[in-house]
Amino acid sequence: MIDYLLFGIALFSALVLYVYEGVLTFMAARLWLRTGRDGLSSRRIIPPLPKDDVLPRLLMQIPLYNERYVIEDLFNALAALSYPADKLTIQILDDSTDDTPGIVQANMSKLEARGFKAVHVRRENRQGYKAGALAEGMLLDDSPFIAIFDADFVPQPNILRQLWAEFDGKDMGLVQAGWDHINGKENVATRLMSLAIDDHFSIEQQGRQELGAWIHFNGTAGMWRREAIVTSGGWQSDTLTEDLDLSFRAQARGWRLKFVDDLKVPCLIPSVMSAIRTQQHRWTKGAAETARKNAGHMLAKKAPFVIRVIDLFHVFNFLMFPAMLLMSLSVALLPLLGFGQTAAYSTLIGILYPLLPLSLLPFFVAGILRARREGKVNPFIVANDTFMLLLMIMGLAMQNTLSVIDGLIGRKSSFVRTPKPPRGQSIGALAQSYKHKLSLKVMVLEGAMVALMLAFMIYAAINLNFFVVLTALYFFLCYAMVIALSLIEIRQETNAAAKAALA
């Protein structure tokens, strides 16, 4: 009986992943076909920068929580904004509990010197977290357009004009810019996360938009029409991904959302494994919570079958993590329980084997196109980085599956910020400023997965099954890579704390 159950789990998980990867491959193929030899689309018409007299009153919201390291760069960028001072209000929505408020106050004069109306908003508590701060800020200002930038973004002088120029109709509710990565080449973590974010924007956001499927606000570097937020129910804090939630509600009400691929805003991305884990937990759990809340909107949408499939996997894309975990678990347990020498198991391995190249394909295509735009086409580097990224994604399957379960069953948790140190700072410096513990339960379970995959690999080697050895080695590398990076970071933090204590 156990063998049938495990076979069934493996096959169902593989089917989910095949469809998911097939959707990504389909969108990546369209991306390839619509671009030229230089990786650029010839269909994009960039609107001219609007003059001062046509620009609307605008509220710019900067939600932040304990962001002491990024305040200087942020305020320097805000002071350089090119927008009529009498039409712009800048809200610093500061829920910080460290010394960030003092640093903010010390920098407010930079905005006042430019003639901008700048307001430092402090709340008595963090009720509603980021969504609560944004909602409270909207009560203090009635500007018809609202730009939102996280504190670790560095908006360019013309970004507000560029975003507003992209509103091409009264039903346009949001314009979302892409992200450029200030510290994208700092270390392995930033290199892989920048690749993952680039792939998300170029394949998923751009791909969905081109097909007419729903896209979503990425929480920052975007401009909303106030009416779209209000008529869609406003900012709500019952999920950890308030941006995704509002996006689905707005589109269900008929508002259009627009992603502009060639408009990018510089930002910092997580530079340590614990910060990546924190961010992944919030995004994955929040996506599951949002699906519970908004799946009905997606199912009620009238659209062609292909668009409905793409939308369905947009809402439920978090399911790829349980699928990856269950697939690797069942494939490893079957031979270890004595079911590895059957024709059925060999067939199963044959079915699973094409998943890796299929998983690599869409991200490799996107990477090649970006390399073309930059004039640095090296397929070997693109392939290596793509493979490393897939190892990390698969390695996070245990943690993210637990996050999915929490989200689906409605288990509440606080909004935990993603700590980002200043460029060039060590992991130890970050650890002394922001306490971010790794879950012992997750680490133990991931360690068990590493041990299981090692046993799986040894079993396959003993039985001289080449294809199974490669499968086992891949799974082993996935889980081992993530836990190794985490353990290295814990050691660095411990050493830094010990040195600080002796100083």
The residues carrying an active-site annotation are: 95, 243
Name the token pair of 104. Answer: 């903010």
Q: Are strands 172-181 and 58-64 parallel, antiparallel or unpaired?
A: unpaired
Phi, psi of 82 (to 5 degrees): -100, 95
Question: In angstroms, rounded to a whole number, what is the distance separating the alpha carbons of residues 233 and 249?
Answer: 8
Q: Are strands 117-122 and 145-148 parallel, antiparallel or unpaired?
A: unpaired
Region of 66 please: left (phi>0), alpha (psi -120 to 50) or beta: left
In SS3 terms, 111-176 reads as: HHHCCCEEEEEECCCCCCHHHHHHHHHHHCCCCCEEEECCCCECCCCCHHHHHHHCCCCCCEEEEE
R_g over Cα of the chain: 24
Sheet holding 58-64, edge to edge: 117-122, 88-94, 58-64, 145-148, 222-225, 172-181, 256-267
The DSSP call for residue 259 is E
